[in-house]
Structure 1
Amino acid sequence: MHRIGYLLADGFQIMALGTQAVFEFANATVSEPFYSVENFSTAGGQVTSSLGMTLGTRRPGPRDLIDTWMVIGVTDPVASRPAPEELAFLRDTAPRARRIAGLCTGGFVLAEAGLLAGRRATTHWAFARDMRQRHPDIEVEEDRIFIVDGAVWTSAGMTAAFDLALAMVERDLGAAVARSVAHKLVMHQRRSGGQSQHSEMLDLSPKSDRIQHALNYARQHLSEPLTVDALAQSANLSPRQFSRAFMQETGKSPAKAVEGLRLEAARLMIEQSRHPLEVVARETGFRDRRHLREAFLRGFGVPPQAVRREARGGAELAER
């Protein structure tokens, strides 16, 4: 039996608790239960969630040999720091566990305990800069769904914790069981750790319908030239009016935004398909494979081949 302990503190983010369903359905998939799951807190007793719901917990004892610790964070890790006794407990217990995970902002708890020093880690994108500033000894990669660095796992915000939990099931019980669990939970697919937290369309978030329409047009015609004239025409504006309005509403030039959309589309094709890079480049509007590589180095800091290797390594949980 693989024992999983969820470590909670007052104000814990309630969505992360839902990841227990991943282990529940993993047990239902295999011939006999593989996981046992229990909720703990350093003091034991009732703990109050971010929503105000109370949950009973148990104080861990010396005989509690937990294989995996799942540390849940709070809604705002900058305003609320973990208690000293929680940090002391983690420093003491982490070396004895098979692995330890910080779900969403739970990564801040691991960081405060010193468990992420010298490691790669991720967290909710809204707090990644705070983690980087507060803990310069951590290699924070905010554009990741989850990261596995040795025995320490960290996930991005909110639903990304489900991807991390499913990746644990894949490691423990194999890809077939993980696929079955994802199907039962109606998860669209298991996202590999290297996938982006962000959507370029959400980041741009234009205020007017005209600019939004132009962005939708661009995303649907990425293989075409997409000049300012073409985009302006789709928005029923003159090129000069369009360029000015686009910059005001998105903070980017049309050319920069289009490149971002192309990069996002190319990255998804690389991660989710086996198309040759020449095909990816052609379908997403890059001149050729070399142009695609230059854009990837500029946008992601790595060549497209590295993204493909990491995506294929998703079955090995995005480890380098």
Structure 2
Amino acid sequence: MDPTPIFVQDGTVCTAAGAMAAIDLALAFVEADIGRDAAMMVARYMVVFLRRSGGQSQFSAQMRAQIAERPVLREIQQRIADHPDADLSVEALAHRANLSPRQFTRSFSSETGTTPGCYVAPTRLETVRRLPEDTQDDVGHVASSSGYSTTEAMRRALQRALGLSPSQCRSQHS
């Protein structure tokens, strides 16, 4: 028995680590049958921010944070999940929410239990971890698609958070 994967598919036998992992397994079935876009749409309707592959351990920055009550802040949370490569600075997010940066930070922190920066950083790391499963893109493209300005910035973030290099991350999750 391997306690790490959230779900396992072995021939005709499929098993999940728990209720949320079963949702991930169901989303994997949707993706296999009708594609990634459909699986992401179903996940969004279910308020599951990120489809996780079966081989990974339990992690999700969005799932650890609270869902904001105000619609505009929920939209910001969804934007962060959908566009980690966008300008996700406090100023840019505050502008989208039509709030001052100070008011945005207070509102976001109050409703989600974390600051905007502490919400964005793990989201970008999760994108780095997910992309090797979905693409064969080079390190530079993975960095820019994840919102890092340089491959070195991505490398430092991976090393600091996970103790991995980009190539170790790819081999671990591919």
TM-score with structure 1 setting the length: 0.40
Richer in strand (by share): 1
Query: RCO (CA 8 Å, sep 6+): is it higher in 1 or 2?
Result: 2
Q: 1:299 aligns with which of 161, 166, 171?
A: 161
Q: Which moved more, 1:220-229 or 1:255-264?
A: 220-229
Structure 2 counterpart of 1:145, one-letter code: I
Distance 1:163 1:250, change over 3 A: closer
Residue equivalent to 1:167: none
Q: 1:200 aligns with which of 61, 67, 80?
A: 61
Conserved 8 A contact 1:217-1:231: no
CA distance in structure 1 between the partners assigned to 2:142 and 2:84 by the alignment: 11
Displacement of 1:300: 2.6
CA distance in structure 2 between the partners assigned to 1:186 and 1:241 by the alignment: 42
Residue equivalent to 2:107: 245
CA deviation profile, 1:50-94 (whole Å, cap 9, x unmatched): xxxxxxxxxxxxxxxxxxxxxxxxxxxxxxxxxxxxxxxxxxxxx
Q: Map of 1:80-95 to 2, 5 A cutoff? A: none
1:213 aligns with 2:75: yes
Displacement of 1:155: 5.9
Conserved 8 A contact 1:146-1:155: yes
Displacement of 1:245: 1.3
Q: Number of matched residues?
A: 147
CA deviation profile, 1:272-299 (whole Å, cap 9, x unmatched): 2111111010111102112112112233
CA RMSD of aligned residues (A): 3.2
Structure 2 counterpart of 1:188, one-letter code: E
CA distance in structure 2 between the partners assigned to 1:294 and 1:227 by the alignment: 19
Displacement of 1:198: 3.6
CA distance in structure 1 between the partners assigned to 2:130 and 2:89 by the alignment: 23
Displacement of 1:187: 4.8
CA distance in structure 2 between the partners assigned to 1:280 and 1:215 by the alignment: 21
Distance 1:191 1:224, change over 3 A: closer
Displacement of 1:229: 1.1
Structure 2 counterpart of 1:252, one-letter code: T
Unaligned runs of 5+ in 1: 1-100, 102-120, 123-140, 148-153, 165-181, 313-320
Displacement of 1:302: 2.3
Conserved 8 A contact 2:109-2:116: yes
Structure 2 counterpart of 1:240, one-letter code: R
Q: What SS class does the counterpart of residue 188 from structure 1 fall into?
A: helix
Identity of aligned residues (%): 35
Structure index of larger Rg: 1
Unaligned runs of 5+ in 2: 9-14, 33-51
